[in-house]
Structure 1
């Protein structure tokens, strides 16, 4: 039976140091004989670092309740932040966002600025994974504003790496590299192997192809810096399939991230440009069907009208009898920016590249796809051994085998062990 004795302060500090060094087993050995809330919290963090999320949640929830009953608000907020980080690691992004924002505010009120920054960093990552870039930028700015001048170098490295990831998502190649190089320098100064590996992985990925550029019937690979130059040019309309938007002269004219039917039509029109697309082919692209019936024709006319309104002046979609053509002004070049791997399978593999395990509904939400569509693609990927599956029912998760190490599910948990 577990003792209800609290872990002594010196042993708690020893367990915290073990967690900060990535030695989860060492922390478990130290806290094993004790059953108070601090021991439970440390044990929960260690279990989470090892990927035993169900057991970690149970320990941290018990610790949070005990801290709340004792009026220990700072400790309760730390436990709540760890629970939010577990939700983030399991890609329960909405729950993670809510918990981490609340925990960050509570930690700041309690004077724990370092861990408030960690919680807000986690909230930023949750928003970024769901494609809510503006919200991620606000959360990251709040995290950076919370950090004091004497913050541990590990904290600064993690924040700089998150800033690099954000700039990469915003297609700001130069600023992404600068932030990543600063993160790498601070990571080396911290001596933490996981953070060093992650910053180095980011810098390698920065110089690798991230997309395919399709124009004039030709395709070529493009790095992030190439994409940045492409979308910034005047006299060019870019259909960005990675983020489902239209960019005209460097400005976003249409954001169709949450309107998959409209973007499917636009992508078909862009691939055919300057030629027209037959109505039946456009309907197949829009509605994801093989056979067109009479109900699809009026639906297509409605969706084309919506697409015209959404384009915001970036050309016009013109009806030509039984076909449609996207017409642009004279001298305007049209370029399609496509994922490295086409189709749903390629998008899923790109999303799973961070090494974390995702549920099918979470993948669908991030890619604006139905859960059924995602499950069909996942089944094919599992058969091809490109994706591994674990758990069953609501706990079923998918991940890339032997994916590159990511500290995304480790950072906040490590941060909880830091003083302050």
Structure 2
């Protein structure tokens, strides 16, 4: 029961609560089947926390226990978890081009002291400082645009078009831009600055890195949820993503037309499935923590 509860918390992104449940579990005294499940939960926790060395150690324990339990389905699940370490986990912008990164490379970047604008989790990270901006999408859009332009500046009209989604900027948009940039400047003041220039604004920091999801477009988070092979309802997907059902339905229709998902059942019984994704891991697309109220 403790292991089931811990894996549920992992899916919800409540990593600290999952860690507290797993801490008292002694894998050495458990029967092989339970030991494999407990070690697999530790693998998931370490991967989600970007502790790659701990994930490798837990993976070895899971493989040994699964071999003793001799349950093919469990062995396949552990093999899939191990494969995530070798897959592309994110992309980094380098000299105007996107460079694929694996999980250990992402972990190294996070520990490098660089100011990381993380578009996988919609946050700003510098060492132990984390500024979540998932609930403030305009501020994150501005921050990402400034980071992509670093060490240069970003044009005001380009920032307005990207953040406010309008092609025709007027004085009201420019005034709003100044307000939003002021809010962003106050939030990131402990680790970076924003300076005005003749053409726009520039991010001032010693080193800046931009991380993006391994999948282009807004369908990335949707594919991350479907990649486990389970059948999802539209309402469940909408709840997990924090979007309306109509928005999710449109995204699913596009993915279905591209052959990346399939539907089973009709009307309210309809469920959506996707084959396991190859070539990249969706670890960083899963929620860090879902809002609970």
Q: TM-score range by the shorter chain?
A: 0.7 to 0.9
TM-superposed deviation, 1:362: 4.2
Q: Larger % of helix: which?
A: 1
Q: Answer yes or no: is 1:121 the counterpart of 2:31.
A: no
2:192 to 286, 307, 315: 315
Aligned length, in residue pairs = 278
1:238 to 113, 116, 119: 116
Would you say the 8 A contact 1:352–1:358 is kept in 2? Answer: yes
Would you say the 8 A contact 2:42–2:55 is kept in 1? Answer: yes
Please give the alpha-carbon distance, in whole angstroms, between the structure 1 residues aligned to 2:136 and 2:31: 43
Provide closer, same or farther for how the CA distance between residues 146 and 185 of structure 1 changes in structure 2, counting only shifts above 3 A. Answer: closer
Please give the alpha-carbon distance, in whole angstroms, between the structure 2 residues aligned to 1:365 and 1:319: 39
Q: Larger % of strand: which?
A: 2
Q: TM-score, normalised by structure 1?
A: 0.59
Q: In terms of Rg, which structure is larger?
A: 1
Match of 1:261? 138
Would you say the 8 A contact 1:253–1:313 is kept in 2? Answer: no
Match of 1:199? 78
Q: Answer yes or no: is 1:324 the counterpart of 2:222.
A: no
1:400 to 253, 263, 274: 274
Q: Which has the higher contact order (CA 8 A, sep 6+)?
A: 2
1:305 to 169, 182, 201: 182
Provide closer, same or farther for how the CA distance between residues 398 and 314 of structure 1 changes in structure 2, counting only shifts above 3 A. Answer: farther
Match of 1:412? none
Segments of 5+ residues of structure 2 without an aligned counterpart are 279-293
Match of 2:282? none
Segments of 5+ residues of structure 1 without an aligned counterpart are 1-115, 129-134, 405-420
Provide closer, same or farther for how the CA distance between residues 217 and 375 of structure 1 changes in structure 2, counting only shifts above 3 A. Answer: same
TM-superposed deviation, 1:214: 1.2
Q: CA RMSD in A?
A: 2.7
Please give the alpha-carbon distance, in whole angstroms, between the structure 1 residues aligned to 2:177 and 2:242: 20
Provide closer, same or farther for how the CA distance between residues 122 and 380 of structure 1 changes in structure 2, counting only shifts above 3 A. Answer: same
* Equivalent residues in 2 for 1:19-418, closer than 5 Å: 116-128=1-13, 135-145=14-24, 150-234=29-113, 236-248=114-126, 250-290=127-167, 292=169, 296-321=173-198, 323-328=200-205, 332-367=206-241, 369=243, 371-391=245-265, 395-401=269-275
Match of 2:290? none
Q: TM-score, normalised by structure 2?
A: 0.82
1:57-107, Cα deviation, whole Å (9 max, x unpaired)? xxxxxxxxxxxxxxxxxxxxxxxxxxxxxxxxxxxxxxxxxxxxxxxxxxx
What's the secondary structure of 2:131's corresponding residue?
A: strand
Please give the alpha-carbon distance, in whole angstroms, between the structure 2 residues aligned to 1:286 and 1:265: 6
Would you say the 8 A contact 1:120–1:143 is kept in 2? Answer: no
